[in-house]
A = this chain, B = another copy of it.
Amino acid sequence: MANFAIMGFGTVGSGVAEVLRMNGAAIAEKLGEPLRLKYILDVRNLSATPYADAAVKDFAVLENDPELDVVVESIGGARVALDFTRRALLAGKHVVTSNKELVATHGKELLAIAREKNVNYLFEASVGGGIPVLRPLFQCLAGNQIQEVAGILNGTTNYILTRMVKGGVPFDEALKEAQAKGYAEQNPAADIEGLDAGRKICILSDLAWGKEVLPENISTQGISAIDLQDAAIASGAGYRIKLLGRAMKLADGRQAAFVAPHLVPESSPLASVDDVFNAIMIRGNAVGDVMFYGRGAGDLPTASAVMGDILDALAHRDRRRNLGWSQSAELIDLDAELPLHWYLRGDFTPPAGSQRLSDRAVIVGPVPGTEVRALAQRVGAQTLLPVLR
């Protein structure tokens, strides 16, 4: 018998309980022993639910139970979740989480505690929901030097962009639709402004290169300023507008990470990733480009990833997974040092050497951000977006 607890019984936490209910017999067979949901820690009253017997209010019950193997942290945020995760690891429990904010901001510290206590801190569900991507990155692709990671990491913004591009719906209206469908929160800032994608690209970067990149140190541009005109011009020229998180390691060992709406050529498999789906492209120096696609959010998909981590933690009970990141990455000055291709729209004479997309839009590059911004100002461009190559 293996025992686990769920802290925070919201969408993800209750999804994990539901996956155990659906698939408990198959899970026990794979594990070689039954998996029991022993505790649910939540402020909610669960007495009228099937989980009444597991409900507890005091974290110390989990902390002090020597029979408890794994704790799922689905509280969210970086306050209570941080305190409980620290204490659970210090008490020798494996911890599995979907909490991207906590992993992105405190992962280094928590992984160090896990290393010291010889337990696992696993967080596959923190990026891409149910899509297996972190474990393939650090394990299957371990023979590669990773060169770049680029992903559609936020389903809400991808839904909105899909409606804008394919439906011709303006941003404000597409956002309202997303809210009506439950894809966007009433306060959608974290999604719309790219903060959620920023946390996820930091976690991908941390794992790809073993050095910490903090969300507060990367450039993040959201989608609220995207104009239907640009969506139409891009589509007409064989591009789609997608919000991408990108992280790369340069030849000199320095790194870059940022979030911005991009023009993505239709030949890229990222271009056809629509609606709430997510996809992450990883470029390794042996494998080339591989892509992982699926639902980036939702109770059961996210719970699928959490359950995979629970089973992996239990399979590595004695010998923890060697996983983590240490000192801070050395980030380049993104604007000054990273030459990209750029899309510009405006009532201008096309700059020399530019590729015309329409009578009012061009692609230039590769040039760094400072340079292209000066050009955009000089010619009076109304839109400036990077282009994925």
Binding site for B on A (CB under 8 A): 15, 19, 22-23, 26-27, 30, 32, 124, 130-132, 135-136, 139-145, 269, 272-273, 277, 284-295, 298, 300-301, 303-308, 310-312, 315, 318-319, 322
Contact = CB atoms under 8 A, between A and B. Distances in A.
13 contacts: A15-B286, A23-B286, A124-B140, A130-B286, A132-B139, A139-B312, A140-B308, A143-B304, A269-B269, A287-B300, A287-B301, A287-B305, A318-B319
Given A132-B290, A290-B132, A294-B287, A23 B144 contact: yes
Q: Which 5 A-B pairs have the closest CB atoms?
A: A143-B307, A132-B140, A290-B294, A132-B136, A130-B287
B288 A130 contact: yes
A210 to B, nearest CB: 8
Given A290-B292, A294-B288, A303-B286, A23 B143 contact: yes
Contacts of A322: 30, 32, 315
Most buried by B among A132, A287, A288: A287
Contacts of A22: 145, 285-286
A135 B27 CA distance: 16
A15 B285 CA distance: 12
A305 B131 contact: no
Given A30-B142, A272-B272, A311-B143, A304 B319 contact: no
A159 to B, nearest CB: 15
B288 A291 contact: no
A113 to B, nearest CB: 20
B286 A141 contact: no
A17 to B, nearest CB: 12
A142 B311 CA distance: 7
Contacts of A303: 143, 286
Contacts of A136: 132, 135-136, 140
Contacts of A293: 269, 290-293
Nearest to A288: B295
Most buried by B among A142, A298, A311: A142
Contacts of A294: 287-291
A151 B247 CA distance: 29
A28 B132 CA distance: 25
A304 B130 CA distance: 24
Nearest to A286: B304
